[in-house]
Structure 1
């Protein structure tokens, strides 16, 4: 592919995400439930990423690698999107976005629209990583392609396990008001976020090679996702909400448990 073709694809991916996140804003405004924003974002990234993966090059049919990456993207999107959708059905509003709306006051609709457009264009490196991985120039599947599949499946399995453990903890009435400190949650305060980040490592594994200089662009996906999860829309607002609702119990949990990377708990952790 030429540089012009890559830039055309980059613009098309961005415009598609912008349109879909405009739809997310309309849904949020109509329903009043900002929880649907994350659902639509996940399915939007999956749809645009899968479409970009099978983007035809020079009129030729999609290669085996293009179909492989498209399937990986679809599996990731359907698993996470379905989970977020089920969670959104059971809430009146997402506490993180609700707090933003409270801070924005009367300007909340306009600020939310701009925020979601920033989210759309900020997601372009994510779908571009999928695009670059799918269009790696090697004609046949390589060992690193299969390794990329394993990395993504590991991330999905770990995130699914973390979600299931948290759901089971919350379903027990005896745990009301407590902090989940069992299973993967004993080693990380956000194991679901960690394994979500692992999923994004799969695309550089597939894309990086000496004959594919565009493969370096795939590194932006895990770097950007780490920044989002750890410093922007993931851990900070969620932990603020947990401190408000759990107080000292959550402060004690913070003191003994790694925030992101799974590590042995420090002294004071409980089984």
Structure 2
């Protein structure tokens, strides 16, 4: 199987799985399951792609390492989103889209989820390319990639736990979480999610491996999605609507994405 053939198979698998996510969303009325299915889809297809043999040899150590990284990321994030969806119900971002689309919402949602599937191709392809680096022996870059993704997963888990603990306290109702990692970034969970995708360029980039440069699309795409499309913009709009001046003050003193000490003059 060539790299281009792998790209086509990855695209087909993601489109099929997100079509399944659309069916679940339509039948349950809970769009929160969309992100759960997306996460497990990316992780599963990525792990399978990582282990897929390009020749007759069995998967080597790097392929297994990258497959484990993809599955670990998917299990941590997927279980977190699933638990949140089970408790919170419909995702307000998707609910807003459905309200905006009106009677055409089912068709528009299907197209939206297929676009999401196609947009995820760079992520899974980065996993595949990193795993297929043409050297059977592990290098220091592989260990560094493992460390980067471990930091990303741990940082995102810590941010999620801090926010969950803040929201569980009745005294914080209507307040803005401004402690722990959330004091340094308005979206530390998004930052660490993006940071973890730097693992695959770390593993794959090499002057002797032209395909390795394709892995840079994964962190670039994730940054664009999180900061400019479906991450920060709709969430900040929602927080401004529900928290008002409290959130505006938080915006004034706190970095939007990259962790940074809060501004004391805000």
**TM-score interval for Structure 1 and Structure 2 normalised by the shorter chain:** over 0.9
CA distance in structure 2 between the aligned counterparts of 1:98 and 1:256, rounded to whole angstroms: 30
**Which residue of the partner structure matches residue 150 of structure 1?**
147
- Aligned residues of 1:187 and 1:258 also touching (Cα < 8 A): yes
The whole-number CA distance in structure 1 between the counterparts of 2:128 and 2:100 is 37
In structure 1, C-alpha distance between the alignment counterparts of 2:114 and 2:144, rounded to whole Å:
34
Unaligned runs of 5+ in 2: none
Unaligned runs of 5+ in 1: none
Q: Within 2, Cα distance between the matches of 1:37 and 1:268? A: 41
Moved over 6 A (4+): none
Q: Map of 1:1-271 to 2, 5 A cutoff? A: 5-267=2-264
Cα deviation per residue 1:147-174 (whole Å; 9 max; x = unaligned)? 0000000001100110111011011110
What is the Cα deviation at residue 16 of structure 1? 0.1
Q: Give the match's secondary structure for 1:178.
A: coil
Structure 2 length-normalised TM: 0.99
Query: Would you say the 8 A contact 1:137–1:211 is kept in 2?
Result: no
Superimposed CA distance per residue, residues 106-154 of structure 1 (whole angstroms, 9 cap, x where no aligned partner): 1100000000000001100000000000000022100000000000000
Cα RMSD, aligned residues only: 0.9
SS of aligned partner of 1:177: coil
Task: State the aligned residue count.
Answer: 266
Deviation of the 1:208 alpha carbon: 0.5
Specify the SS of the correspondent of 2:2: helix
Secondary structure in structure 1 of the residue aligned to 2:263: coil
> Take 2:217 and 2:198, find their aligned partners in 1: how far apart are those partners?
10
Query: 1:215-243: CA deviations, max 9, x gaps?
Result: 00000000000000000010001111111
* TM-score, scaled to structure 1: 0.97
**Cα distance, 1:211 vs structure 2:** 1.4
